[in-house]
Amino acid sequence: MIKKFLITAGITAIAGLSAQKTHTVEKGDNPYNIAKRYGMTVDDLVKLNPNSKDGKVSIGEVLLVNKLASNTGSAQPKANSSSAKVGKIILKPKQTIYGITKQYQISETELRALNPELDSHMKIGDEVTLPLASIQKFGGDQQVVAANKPVETFTPTETVKTVSQPEPTKTVTAVADENSYTVQAKDNYYKLSRKFNLNQKELFALNPGLEEKGLQVGDIIQVKGKGSVEETKADPIATTVSQTTSTPTYSTTSVADDYVTYTVQDGDTVFGILNKFGITLDDLLSLNPNLSQGLKSGMVLKIKKLDSAYVKKSGDALNVVIMLPFGFDSNDSKYRTLSLDFLAGAKLAIERNTKSGKNLDIKVIDAGNEKSFKNSLTQINKDNTDLIIGPFFKSSVLEVLDYVKTSKIPVVAPFANSDDLLGYQNLIIIETNDFIYADRIVKEVKDAFSDQKIYIVADADQTYAKYLETNLKKNLKNANVILVKSASDIQPDQNMMTGKPAPVIAILANKSDDAGDAFANRMIALSKEVDGLKAFSMYYSPIFEKKVDELSQSNLVYLMDRKIDTEGSFEKEILEAYKKKYCKAPSKYAVIGFDVVNDMLSRENKKGEIFKQMNKVQTQLATKFEFEKTKSGAYVNKGYRVVRLIPN
């Protein structure tokens, strides 16, 4: 069963040494969580109980602990002994409770403690009280009201202790600052990655020892830092880890200077960079004079000046066209339900952006079908349209791009994704290409490979299965790769020395749910026959979440592009708003409609300069948006999640 966790910030654990009481070790106890429960350090516990070192505690063993400590582990409010100065900000358009907690790095509990009537004071121009230090550090250009005098604030605490000593003592306090958070019950890596925009490898890098120890209630962990590291192995416990990744190539990270930039990776050479981007050495040196001192990993190079982008023609309102294949005029209802669902989600996103202060003029056009599409183009005002979302089909997208090529109006393709679209610099492609998933699976298999036989379950056309086969053989020495049509064809290998079954690597390259069911059931059966089985899937299948415990025994790793965290505050807000508006939960395409439109509108400024905001990584209701500008011009979403099921 997947454990669910909850994160709160600012938790204070005060530890002290005084007279002792005892604790009887129960199932699941270890020195670390026992020490945390009683407000002690592990060192303190070891000093009192030398046999507890290195995890050597046994069920029923009686340990000495702090006498005055409470072992209930319940959180209680405590006045912060160091009263902090506070200030007030004036709310700007688009700011929400969730956004404020993210920007100013405080918990919603702290925010509401400072603002008891917060919900009724979230209109543009209202004042919100925040810690002055947070305003000064994270406020940017936020309008600030003069700071108030220090106030007594209340912070959620974990196992609060009062320590008595025969003489004045100093209490040892572990406090979560703006770069850290305190783990509580119901915490897991998935929620950490969602809440703090971290992946597992970054979390481990910021917290040495966390990988071995795992997440412990009351533990203060670092959640903010610089740089990136190679991914590490997952915890040896049954859990589900969600990680958002993308292959680093190049992106417009230096948008203020309007340059395409590239961050130098380990192993890069100047010659390789010139070939990669099709530029000359003279051009590279002229844009990067510091390159004369040598090429270094992590160096950000300017590659070329961005081509001139769309410029808003007139008016204060952003004029947005949404093209959906309703098929009313062509009497083609094939995609009508999909279109209506997409529009339902889009309307919710439009309302949210309007309420936050955006001035929008939205026009919905019936794009018909591919045959009748040309008629819909005449409804687009090329002289005063700032953004086009849709159409759905590749051929129609190409026609729109040709129609607006002189005005360079940004066009968003929600579903179309193919190589012949990549050459358009005003195109934003939402769907992550399956070859990106295949590349990630190759990397995952390479990391797990140790001369096992590799099975790939292919779909009918075998495009991705053959791509996997070619690249696995290219990256692995003497790889024995076998393409099969069905998961039932996957068989354990045989150890030539012992004659016993030997583990294999199995890959699913078929996105149908039936194939996913068959693959999952075959992996569960094989994991009972042989230890060390490694399973991978390019795609998500519902059965993966239904049979987590069984599939974890096969070390299943799968990729997915959309997932709603129903415990997230933002997600709860959107789901509740949708249900209130439509009296039902959103369908798959309603979720896509909300995510695409909300993400695009949030990147637009008053001048319609959406491309200046494409470097921002954003997660909406279910979709991760992480855009990369390709070498040929288009922006492509490369956001996805890696989910690992780790065995007991």
> 245-274, pLDDT tens digit by residue?
333 333 333 343 567 778 888 778 887 787
Query: What six digits make up the tokens of 538?
Result: 């390019």
Q: Which of 64, 28, 19, 61 is nearest to 161 (CA)?
A: 19
Q: What is the pLDDT of residue 543?
A: 93
Q: Please give the C-alpha separations between residue 345 and each of 266, 328, 486, 582, 614, in angstroms, as whole numbers.
A: 42, 20, 37, 10, 22
Alpha-carbon distance of 91 to 113, in angstroms, equals 18
pLDDT digits (tens, 9 = 90+) for 312-348: 666 788 999 999 998 877 778 889 999 999 999 999 9
CA–CA separation, 50 and 331 (whole Å) = 80
Residue 225: what pLDDT?
Answer: 53
pLDDT computed for residue 424 by the predictor:
93
Which pTM does this prediction carry? Answer: 0.52
Read off the pLDDT band of 82 (50, 70, 90).
Answer: very low
Cα of 590 vs its chain's centroid, Å: 20
Rg (CA), the chain: 28
Band (63; pLDDT cuts 50, 70, 90): confident
In this predicted model, which residue has the larger pLDDT, 154 or 543? 543
As separate numbers, helices (DSSP H) first and strands (DSSP E) second, the chain gives: 20, 32
What confidence tens digit (pLDDT) does each residue in 346-393 have? 999 999 999 988 899 999 998 987 777 888 898 899 888 999 999 999
* 90 pLDDT above the threshold of 60: yes
Q: Which of 74-78, 83-87, 112-116, 458-462 holds the top average pLDDT?
A: 458-462
Average pLDDT, the chain: 77
pLDDT over 90, % of the chain: 34
Structure-model confidence comparison of residues 612 and 427, the more confident one:
427
Tokens of 410: 């940004």
Residue 554 CA to residue 525 CA, distance in Å, equals: 10
